[in-house]
Structure 1
Amino acid sequence: MSARTLTVAALQTAPVAHDTEATWARYAERVRAVRDLFPHVQLVVVPELMLAAEAPLLQSADGWADRAAVTVPGPLTDRICALAAETGLWLVPGSLYERRDDGTLANTALAVSPAGEIAATYRKVFPWQPYESTAPGDHFVVFDIPGVTRVGLAICYDGSFPETARQLAWLGAEVIVQPTLTTTRDREMELVMARANAWTNQVFVVNVNAADPAGVGAGVLVDPDGTVRQQAGGGEELLVDTLDLAMVDRARAFGSNGLNRPWAQLARYGSTIKLPAYEGGTFKTPPWAAGS
């Protein structure tokens, strides 16, 4: 078993509604405070659409997404990259409204390295329709933290589709980072899905929701056994945890809770199972599981 660890700070916070400059100041201040208080932290994650300064549900403004949209790369991503380089942290700054070359808007999550470079750009594949008007992305994205782990990106409602976590794990993710902006009472079902996605794919899930008043909170860190390691309340809160990546190795070798080995079983029999929902294809064993 490996001795790899990843220390994550999941910052459950809220933007300053409809004020992107004030929200940036709050974000940068919080990131620097995490760095100063917890110098062993490697990755800081904040909620979905944090830097877009989205308002609480009943205060949303028509056309705000269009007004808050930015290009990627652009001035805002330059700021994020500079902050990552200054603090020496990996940053997943929630998600942004991205204005794409064709004029459409996407709900886009970034991963930025301590070198101040964009390591991954992910556009939400499953926007919360019919309420969310952004155009969907068409593929899933992972990135490597060299010498540590591979991380998959998901955004909020993505977690309600089993295909999301399955594909990210198939691509080699051991940790799924899922910025979320949930303002409604279905948060309880999202927590069920966070545990299910972790357990069925034998990965860590870092699901950080927006704090009151922007969201209903209840951010969670879940391990590959589907056990909730930490859960926040409704207000601003910081969840700091050191994820032992050997838990992923152990779960996949010996089973979640020492019992269940879905990836090993898929590796053995997946190619013989017909999948009519996917045009009659069959499951393909990921390279990392070929020896299972």
Structure 2
Amino acid sequence: MTRQSALTIAMAQKSQLAIGEPFSVFADDVRHIASLRDENDNKPELIVFPEMHLFGTGDLDEEHAYLAQCDAASDMHDELMDNFGHLAKELGIWLIPGTIPERNAEGGIFNTAPVFSPEGELIASYRKICPWRPFERYTPGNSFTVFDIPGKGRVGIMICYDAWFPEISRQISWLGADLIVNPVFTTTPDRKQELVLAQANAIVNQIFVASLNAPAPQGAGQSLLVDPEGEVIARTDNAEERVMVVTVDLQRVSAVRGDGTAGSNKMWEQFRPGDAPVPLPLYQGSIDSDRWHIQG
């Protein structure tokens, strides 16, 4: 792989911390992870944690868990954000600290994934579009997020249940992402289906997908990293705590799209200028052949 496009990712399948846990507990964990290396002695450049990693509610029922997260919610301009930024800058890493409850004007909360640069800046955030209804009461987001890691590639985010809706991974891919990061908090038996979806979303969009779940006892674990042809690069086969440090070449995305999956399929070249629009009644729109190409 070319060194410029190589990105070393640390996927931290780590136990959820309770609301109110000292930030130092999280910070020390991140410092430890930043000291790890992959098989070729590369240190992590991007560290990712599972959904709601810092906002565990223990054995509270659904109503009280939601209220606890509302009480602890961030406005994205508070001490927690400052702490994330200082930590990312201290370690010189890209940091996605899982997701956080973000306070909104209606008194509810979004489920939001913030992204911090090695300069300590909050450079992007994504609000979960598809809360796991009827169980989750988060306010849905309504926009997509991608961000660039200079010299590496473009990264998009979708959160947990978003992965079940192919429209979301398709849109992120159309926006030019090379990698989709999918923080998850799945406790239910459907994790086995999510593993299939991670591979399917990678295959149909020719993109890397990193699906990161919480371990037991809160989550079902089984995190995985999938390449643009759907091959599993790395995975945790159980629900124990584990950190996977893996280096990927994001240029493989353009290579696979150019050569075709398995040297055969070039989905992003399917619709050509001059083809008749394909009506999509569900969306009151259509597939426009003039727009069927990756955005720069």
The question of a shared fold, defined as TM-score above 0.5 by the shorter chain, is answered with yes
Displacement, 1:114? 0.4
Displacement, 1:52? 1.5
Q: Work out the CA distance in 2 between the residues paired with 1:10 and 1:32.
A: 14
Kept after mapping to 2: 8 A contact 1:270/1:285: no
The correspondence of residues 167-206 of structure 1 with structure 2, limited to 5 A, is 167-206=171-210
Q: Which residue of 2 aligns with 1:73?
A: 77
Aligned length: 287
Indicate the SS of the match to 1:65. Answer: helix
Q: Work out the CA distance in 2 between the residues paired with 1:263 and 1:139.
A: 22
Which residue, out of 248, 258, 282, partners 1:253?
Answer: 258
Asked if 1:285 corresponds to 2:292, the answer is yes
Asked if 1:44 corresponds to 2:51, the answer is no
The correspondence of residues 51-62 of structure 1 with structure 2, limited to 5 A, is 51-55=54-58, 61-62=64-65
Q: Work out the CA distance in 2 between the residues paired with 1:185 and 1:269.
A: 46
Q: Which residue of 2 aligns with 1:5?
A: 6
Question: RMSD between aligned alpha carbons?
Answer: 2.1
Kept after mapping to 2: 8 A contact 1:171/1:286: no
Indicate the SS of the match to 2:32. Answer: helix
Alpha-carbon distance change, 267 to 185 in structure 1, aligned in 2, over 3 angstroms: farther
Alpha-carbon distance change, 285 to 217 in structure 1, aligned in 2, over 3 angstroms: same
Amino acid at match of 1:21: E
Q: Which residue of 1 aligns with 2:86?
A: 82
Displacement, 1:176? 0.2
Indicate the SS of the match to 1:52. Answer: coil
Deviations 1:215-243 (Å, cap 9, x if unpaired)? 01001100001111111120110111111
Indicate the SS of the match to 2:12. Answer: strand
Kept after mapping to 1: 8 A contact 2:36/2:245: no
Amino acid at match of 2:269: A
Amino acid at match of 1:66: C
Structure showing the higher helix proportion among its residues = 1
Kept after mapping to 2: 8 A contact 1:203/1:248: yes
Q: Which residue of 2 aligns with 1:95?
A: 99
Displacement, 1:278? 1.5
Kept after mapping to 2: 8 A contact 1:56/1:214: no
Kept after mapping to 2: 8 A contact 1:95/1:110: yes
Q: Normalization by structure 2: what TM-score?
A: 0.91
Q: Normalization by structure 1: what TM-score?
A: 0.92
Gaps (5+ residues) in structure 2? none
Gaps (5+ residues) in structure 1? none
Indicate the SS of the match to 1:229. Answer: strand
Q: Which residue of 2 aligns with 1:31?
A: 30
Question: Identity percentage over the alignment?
Answer: 41
